[in-house]
Amino acid sequence: MPQQPDHALIHKPASLRPDPNLADYVQTAARFNWDDAAKLLDGLPGGAGLNIAYEAVDRHLAHGRGDRIALRWLGKSGARRELSYADLAQASNRFANALHDLGVQPGEGVFLLLGRLPELYVALLGALKARCVVTPLFSAFGPEPIATRAEMGDARVLVTTPELYQRKVQGLRQRLSGLRQVIVVGEAPAGDASLHGWDALLAAASPDYTIAPTDPESVSLLHFTSGTTGKPKGAMHVHAAVLAHAVTGRYALDLHDDDVYWCTADPGWVTGTSYGVIAPLVCGVSNVVVEAEFDAQSWYRVLAEERVTVWYTAPTAIRMMMKLGAEALQGFELSALRFMASVGEPLNPEAVLWGQQAFGLPFHDNWWQTETGGIMIANYAAMDIKPGSMGKPLPGITAAIVQRDSSGLRLIDTPDTDGELALKTPWPSMMRGYLHEDERYRKCFVDGWYLTGDLARRDADGYYWFVGRADDVIKSSGHLIGPFEVESALLEHPAVAEAGVIGIPDPMAGEVVKAFVALKPGFAPDEALRSELLGHARKRLGAAVAPKQIEFRNNLPKTRSGKIMRRLLKARELGLPEGDLSTLESDEK
């Protein structure tokens, strides 16, 4: 947890462009209103509404910028592919037409289970053009998280690779009865008539497409996120959210249309969609997409060779780079790089300062979550940075530190006081609901404020500092993991009677998942069973979600109503005072 340290302020970095989009925070925040900001967008021709894909792609053609590079894709085996905005418009048109040809209707669910491949970008934009509801899934998920989400979100179409299909989806087809079309990139393997090959499907589809009138309030993206209890939550976002992406791309990431931008997040998570696809394209930049997983040397090579100017990454990766030391950067020519930002987990002050030392630039931390749809609190290019702080609310956003009590909310005005981070509603990218869970959605709001479930404090200068989560969800390598989902997978194993899952601190990943397990009679708590359970969880959930550690216990602490007390498990694990934890249940945001 970043403390408010005595680190010196970092004054506006020397490399600041002469024309930052947000030159004066105080003035802009005072004057900002979302109606004026809407001028950043065009809307569909003829006043036919607002469609994210039109703003991200087609609009640039209308403004004579079709030749600019939209995507620069670097494949893991050295392949390289560039798509101009005009190419991307045509390819996404083809995909939209292909969906029509397959009988897919507006509002139906199109799920994407792909690594960072060009097809993901084309399918996402094409499905938005066709007014389908798009859900990108993390390709490292195991079959269980895929099935849960596809069932909940009523997946009608899935786009995936032949390999992911065979490993993770084929065995689920019976269960996913609503899934009528599966499209695999490249060619469909011979002998399976239920699969469509991407190449043939798109070749047969027309490259011309007119987006039908789109209600800005119609659902565009369904992003699953984890809560403390129950199934994952399906946060529903609408086409109108694109305004927040246009504004935050400019203000929080300082994107200008001559930038070469790289967001390292996977589009299977909300950052990789909002800021790895939508915001950069809306801002008209050249968007670098790297298929391979993290490796410091190859990342530095990408920064140098692609002449990346704006880089959006995450604390786990920064910590891994820090471990290798600034020497690893030697020999890379990084003079193009001018703005570095980070999101997803607490960014410790040391990491911000290491940026200064290694790159000559600080990392600009910013904060948001799946539900908010876009960046809400940030360190802006022209603002002084207090290392360890998440920065200040976006112009157009009112944030507060609050305390819930029986009569509603109490706003805490005293600086440096811990409370829950709350945001005044509404704003364009705010989720419009949790799929099929109205009550859970309603519980997020009190007196016109959205309660984030994060604990934070604000200092006397208006900077926000992250303190921790108010609930039991786990952040591991930037991925939000619901303990219930992990516990449920463990409970499927015949040896497991009870399971309690918590996050424990880890120097690299922030937190790692640890499970406490009580066994059924007749099972011995030995190493063989531990490995079997670890393997079982990894197979069901995928490596990114599965526990890294399992500890056997005779029984687990429970409340009177029988709920496993994760906080007590955690307090004992970390040697923290148990205080009145025994009376606490897990609060669900």
SS3 573: helix
Q: How far is the CB of 378 from ligand AMP (least distance, A)?
A: 9
Q: How far is the CB of 304 from ligand AMP (least distance, A)?
A: 26
Cβ proximity to ligand AMP: between 284 and 344 the closer is: 344
Is omega for the bond preceding 346 within 30 degrees of 0, making it cis?
no
Q: How far is the CB of 370 from ligand AMP (least distance, A)?
A: 3
Cβ proximity to ligand AMP: between 313 and 366 the closer is: 366
Cβ proximity to ligand AMP: between 315 and 557 the closer is: 315
DSSP line for 384-434: PB-TT--BEEPTT--EEEEEEETTEEEE--STT--EEEEEES--TTS--EE
Q: How far is the CB of 501 from ligand AMP (least distance, A)?
A: 17
Cβ proximity to ligand AMP: between 551 and 587 the closer is: 587
Question: What is the rounded CA–CA span in Å between residue 34 and residue 12?
Answer: 27
Question: What is the rounded CA–CA span in Å between residue 135 and residue 222?
Answer: 5
> What stretches of 55-213 adopt beta strand conformation (E)?
69-74, 80-84, 109-113, 133-137, 155-160, 181-184, 195-197
The length of the chain in residues reads 589
> How many other C-beta atoms can be found within 10 angstroms of the C-beta atom of residue 231?
18
Q: How far is the CB of 511 from ligand AMP (least distance, A)?
A: 11
Q: How far is the CB of 343 from ligand AMP (least distance, A)?
A: 5
Cβ proximity to ligand AMP: between 313 and 452 the closer is: 452
Q: How far is the CB of 311 from ligand AMP (least distance, A)?
A: 16
497-520 as b/e: b if 16+ CB within 10 A: ebbbbbbbebeebbbbbbbbbbbe
Cβ proximity to ligand AMP: between 185 and 546 the closer is: 546
Cβ proximity to ligand AMP: between 94 and 364 the closer is: 364
Question: What is the rounded CA–CA span in Å between residue 113 and residue 161?
Answer: 8
Phi, psi at 306, each rounded to 5°? -90, -5
- Asked whether the beta carbons of 294 and 320 are under 8 A apart, the reply is yes
Phi, psi at 475, each rounded to 5°? -110, 110
Strand-pair category, 474-476 with 464-469: unpaired
Question: What is the rounded CA–CA span in Å between residue 574 and residue 94?
Answer: 54
Q: How far is the CB of 420 from ligand AMP (least distance, A)?
A: 11
Q: How far is the CB of 475 from ligand AMP (least distance, A)?
A: 6
Cβ proximity to ligand AMP: between 354 and 367 the closer is: 367
Cβ proximity to ligand AMP: between 272 and 280 the closer is: 272
Tokens representing 554 are: 């005779």
If 0-12 CB within 10 Å is exposed, 13-18 middle and 19+ buried, where does residue 277 land? buried
Cβ proximity to ligand AMP: between 84 and 135 the closer is: 135
Tokens representing 170 are: 């084929």
Q: How far is the CB of 89 from ligand AMP (least distance, A)?
A: 29
Question: What is the rounded CA–CA span in Å between residue 351 and residue 194?
Answer: 49
Q: How far is the CB of 277 from ligand AMP (least distance, A)?
A: 15
- Asked whether the beta carbons of 450 and 393 are under 8 A apart, the reply is no
- Asked whether the beta carbons of 381 and 239 are under 8 A apart, the reply is no
Residues 6+ apart with CB under 8 A from 26: none
Q: How far is the CB of 585 from ligand AMP (least distance, A)?
A: 20
Q: Which residues bind ligand AMP (CB under 6 A)?
A: 225, 270, 343-347, 365-367, 369-370, 390, 452, 454, 466, 469, 475, 480
Cβ proximity to ligand AMP: between 70 and 238 the closer is: 238
Residue 499 β-bridge partners: 517
Cβ proximity to ligand AMP: between 85 and 380 the closer is: 380
